Structure formats: structure tokens, C-alpha cells
Copies of this chain bind each other. A is one copy, B any other.
């Protein structure tokens, strides 16, 4: 979703690999079980799109930062990938998922490990959960440690910790809200679900990495505030596009079974907007049937489209991205920062399934 020179990708990958290899080696020194945990933890932070590190680096360059004179840049960028991995591992644990991208995640690996060792179903669940709790802890700590020990100035470190502190707390609030909103009979209103998307995803995935890159490059407070506001809006639009992909996307677009959000009865702003239409009674029936199979999913997709909720979500994405562009234009950002934000808004638009 974001273009960087090959050399920048290599620096990001190197910083990440140094951290993960260190974790593997240190874990292996503590015994065979710990070695397996180190491997599973490192694997969970490997092979992703590295969106968040790329945002750190792109913002840094857009504000005129000179990577040759900021050796801490790559560690800070890598830290955001580890933070993401920590949240993904703990989110998978909470959601009861045993796979990610079609291969066993930490829970799946350690459930299998327990089975191989003669554990029964309960023991297998126990070990899977324990390993996922610990893997997420190791990743969260490592992300924090990378920033605490990065070669940056003291004021930069202090500012990065303010950002990281917010990222951890806001993401936790968003994750908790996401779980709470899945409970009980009442569908929360659209605004509440948008707020959850912002807290759970937009802050740590867009706003904070962009701000981190800008502050390392020496952006002033006004510029950073504008960048953060635009980043937050882009992050929310990104999540709304993700909801459309999870609901209407093809297998190629979604990278998994089509209609996975419908199968999982996920409460998204898209669904909340459908609930505000007169067609809701028949949509609700269709959604209730969706987990039963592909035909029911296609029926629910048609009902949602017919209600106008799909179109309204596309409009909401367009509007959110317009607000991001306006924020960028009004704030006297450097030209390269405006170009970066324009590229990000275009990339989010491109993700919308047609």
C-alpha cells in the first residue's frame, strides 16, 4: 500500500530480523520449550506487509529527515511492526483463532505441541492460550525495548514514549470495546462502531507511526497534529474498506473465504448502517442465516447491497478521505507530506471492492 525504495525496505527488514533473531537465540538458551516459544513468536512477526514501519519511514522522509543522520529510525520503524504483531497475537487469542494467513498461529502451534506430548483437548487449549499470552508479552516488551534503547535524542525518546503510551492504551480500549460490542442482543450505533475502529486500528496503525516518523524528522507540533488527524481519518477509512472486503470481497481480494465477516456475524459500521434502513428486518434474517454457508452468505450480501448500506459505506470512506485531504491542505505541510497523504488516500480507495 506504500512505496519505499528497496534500500529502505532492506533496512526495515534488517532491523526487524536483528530483533527477532536475538529473541530466538535468547529463548533457545532457556530450554526446548522456550526455544519453541521464541520460534513461534518470531514467526508471528514475520511475513507481514510491514505497513506500519513503512509509514514511519515514509513520514520521516516526507518531512525531510536524513536517514544517514538518524540511525534510530529503523529500530523505531521495526518496533511498530512488533507492536502490531503483539496485538495480532493477543487479538487471535481473544478471538479463539488458531490460524493466520492459512498457517497455524501461536495458539495453533502450541495446541499441536500439547497433543504430541499426550495432552487431552483441555490441556491442548491450555498450552495454546498460555503460549499466546506469553508470545504477545514478549513482542510488546521487545517493541518497547527497541524504542527505549534506540539511538535517538532524549527529547525524541520522551516524545516517542508519549506516542507509544497512547498507542498501547487506545488500542487496548478499542480491543475491549470491540469485544463488548459483540456481546448481547443490541447492535451498537454506527458512531460507536466507528469510534472502536479508530481506537482499535487507526491509532496504532496509521496515526502513531506517521507521527513517529515526523517527530524523528523534526516536524513541528502543528504539522504533527495535522498529520495525526489526517492519519487517523485514513486509518478509519482503511478499516471501513477492510469491512467491505470482509463482507463483499472476492477470495482474491480478501485472501480468505469470501464473506468471512458475515460468517463470523461481525458487527461493523456497515451492518449498523443497514440497521438504520427500512429493510433491516429481512437483512437481520439474512445475517442470522449467513454462518450456515455460501448460499446464505450471497443472500446476505444481496440484501445488504439492496439496502444501500454498501453504497453508504463507500460514501463514508470517500468523505473520510476528503477530510484527510482537507486537513493536509490546510496545515501548510511540506509538499512531500501532502503527496504521501494523497498516496495513502488513493491506496485506501483502491482497496474498496467493486
Contact = CB atoms under 8 A, between A and B. Distances in A.
A93 B137 CA distance: 13
A149 B158 CA distance: 7
Nearest to A129: B94
Given A140-B141, A141-B168, A133 B31 contact: no
Interface residues of A, number: 55
Contacts of A182: 123, 126
A10 interface: no
Contact of A130 (B137, B141, B176): B176
A32 B196 CA distance: 13
Interface string A96-132: 0000000000000000001001110001001101110
Interface in A138-170: 138, 140-141, 144-145, 147-149, 157-158, 161, 164-165, 168-170
Give the number of copies in the complex: 2
Interface string A163-188: 01100111011011101101111000
Nearest to A166: B26
Interface in A162-219: 164-165, 168-170, 172-173, 175-177, 179-180, 182-185, 195, 199
A94 B126 contact: yes
A134 B91 CA distance: 10
Nearest to A124: B183
A136 interface: yes
A327 to B, nearest CB: 22
Nearest to A35: B173
Given A161-B145, A183-B119, A177 B34 contact: yes
Contacts of A169: 23, 26-27, 30, 34, 138
A90 interface: yes
Contact of A172 (B37, B119, B127, B168): B37
A235 to B, nearest CB: 16
Given A133-B136, A141-B168, A34 B184 contact: no
A295 interface: no
A101 to B, nearest CB: 21
A346 interface: no
Contacts of A37: 172-173, 176
A140 B139 CA distance: 11
A172 B140 CA distance: 13
Interface in A49-69: none
Contacts of A138: 168-169, 172
A172 B29 CA distance: 13
A347 interface: no
Contacts of A173: 27, 30-31, 33-34, 37
The 10 closest A-B pairs by CB, nearest first: A34-B173, A148-B148, A30-B173, A118-B184, A130-B179, A134-B172, A119-B183, A123-B183, A144-B144, A94-B130
19 contacts: A27-B169, A27-B173, A30-B169, A30-B170, A34-B177, A93-B133, A94-B133, A114-B180, A117-B183, A118-B185, A119-B184, A127-B179, A134-B172, A134-B175, A137-B168, A138-B168, A140-B141, A141-B165, A145-B165
